[in-house]
């Protein structure tokens, strides 16, 4: 499920100009984006029967200068035996529950990202992100673990003409409970984006995550996406996903709408 957020973040680089080309006013005011999406995936996750997951997140993101703050909440539906290990953070699923059809809110995710903007003029983007998962998803329904998690990660990309290779690596501190012991995990991703023009970009990506439960297959997924800037304020991202391990969805996909509202100048609090 974090793949939707990650793909949007990667595609968002298509609309990011070097700092020298940006209005210096952005260093003193907050700008905001609001995203909503529909994500669907299906997989067995080691169980005998598949689990279908529908995920509908809403994300609010604000940035000023080198800092970006983000909060994301969601509604989700799960039809099958898989237990969602991270209701909104892409931590994987475990096919060890009872076959059921349930729905409810997912986990709330908040994050802060710091960008090394001194490299923007050279077309190099390096971001450091800290994310906290707040356990708002129901453990009883199998929509989450009911425990908080903390994730640290670094992402980098380099603009080479119309190509944008990108990669990231991170570490996740998983919260556990007596009924569900989870280990801390590492994860990584890499991909390549191509800018067709100033409004259209396509890309491919590969994601690897260490399994939160020892002995289970590590989730591995490949994805491809199309990002279109519809207007100066509205963009659309369409993506598809395929799994490469027994602990990944067999297939999935979705679409994301991102809107930049005109909020005027929001002064920095003193």
CATH classification of the domain holding 37: 2.40.128.130
In a domain, 231, yes or no: yes
In a domain, 26, yes or no: yes
Q: Which of 39, 23, 21 is nearest to 31 (CA)?
A: 23
pLDDT tens digits, one per residue of 219-256: 999 999 999 999 999 999 999 999 999 888 999 999 99
In a domain, 188, yes or no: yes
Total domains in the chain come to 1
Q: Is residue 123 within 8 Å of residue 144, measured between CB atoms? A: no
Query: How would you classify the pairing of strands 67-80 and 108-115?
Result: antiparallel
What is the DSSP annotation of the chain? -HHHHHHHHHHHGGGPPPGGGS-GGGGTB-EEEEEEEEEEEEE-TTSSS-EEEEEEEEEEEEEETTEEEEEEEEEEEEEESPEESSTTT---EES-S--EEEEEE--EEEEEEEE-GGGGGGTEEEEEEEEEEE--S-TTTTSS-SS-EEEEEEEEEE-BTTEEEEEEEEEEE---BTTB----EEEEEEEEEEESSSSEEEEEEEEEE--SSTTSPPPEEEEEEEEEE-SSSEEEEEEEEEE-STTS-SEEEEEEEEE-------BPP-
In a domain, 269, yes or no: no
Cα 99 from chain centroid (whole Å) = 27
Q: Residue 48: what pLDDT?
A: 84
Burial class (CB in 10 A: 0-12, 13-18, 19+), 250: middle
Query: How would you classify the pairing of strands 67-80 and 100-105?
Result: antiparallel
Q: Residue 47: what pLDDT?
A: 82
Q: Residue 129: what pLDDT?
A: 97
What is the Cα–Cα distance from 120 to 159, expressed in whole angstroms?
A: 10
Largest alpha-carbon pair distance within the chain?
Answer: 58
Domain that holds residue 245: 2-259
In a domain, 228, yes or no: yes
In a domain, 192, yes or no: yes
Q: Residue 96: what pLDDT?
A: 58
Q: Residue 19: what pLDDT?
A: 40
Q: Residue 100: what pLDDT?
A: 86
What separation in angstroms does the CA of 175 have from each of 65, 76, 148, 181, 217? 32, 21, 5, 8, 20
**Which residues, at least 6 apart from 14, have a Cβ–Cβ distance to it below 8 Å?**
164, 193, 195, 201, 227, 229
In a domain, 199, yes or no: yes
Q: To which residue do tokens 């190509």 refer?
A: 163
Query: pTM of the entire structure?
Result: 0.84
In a domain, 181, yes or no: yes
Q: What is the number of other CB atoms lying within 10 angstroms of the CB of residue 258?
A: 23
Q: Residue 97: what pLDDT?
A: 62
Structure tokens at 231: 């207007």
Angle at 238 between CA 150 and CA 254, to 5 degrees: 60
Beta bridge partners of 134: 108
Residues of the chain with pLDDT under 50: 1-2, 4-11, 13-23, 87-88, 265
């Amino acid at each position: 499920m974090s793949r939707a957020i990650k793909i949007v973040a990667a595609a968002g680089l298509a609309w990011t100009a070097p700092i020298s080309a940006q209005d210096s006013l952005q260093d003193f005011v907050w700008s905001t984006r609001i995203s909503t999406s529909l994500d669907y995936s299906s997989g067995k996750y080691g169980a005998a029967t598949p689990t279908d997951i529908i995920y509908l997140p809403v994300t609010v993101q604000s940035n000023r200068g080198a800092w970006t703050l983000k909060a994301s909440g969601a509604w989700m539906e799960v039809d099958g035996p898989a237990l969602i290990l991270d209701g909104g953070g892409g931590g994987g699923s475990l096919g060890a529950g009872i076959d059921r059809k349930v729905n409810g809110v997912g986990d709330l995710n908040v994050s802060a990202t710091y960008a090394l903007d001194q490299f923007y003029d050279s077309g190099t983007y390096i971001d450091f992100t800290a994310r906290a998962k707040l356990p708002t998803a129901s453990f009883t329904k199998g929509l989450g673990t009911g425990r908080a998690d903390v994730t640290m990660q670094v992402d980098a990309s380099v603009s080479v003409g119309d190509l944008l290779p990108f990669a990231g690596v991170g570490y996740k501190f998983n919260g556990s409970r007596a009924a569900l012991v989870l280990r801390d995990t590492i994860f990584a991703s890499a991909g390549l984006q191509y800018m067709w023009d100033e409004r259209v970009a396509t890309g491919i990506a590969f994601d690897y995550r260490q399994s939160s439960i020892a002995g289970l297959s590590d989730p591995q997924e490949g994805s491809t996406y199309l990002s279109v800037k519809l207007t100066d304020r509205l963009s659309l991202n369409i993506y598809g996903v395929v799994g490469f391990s027994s602990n990944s969805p067999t297939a999935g996909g979705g679409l994301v709408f991102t809107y930049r509202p005109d909020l005027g100048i929001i002064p920095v609090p003193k």
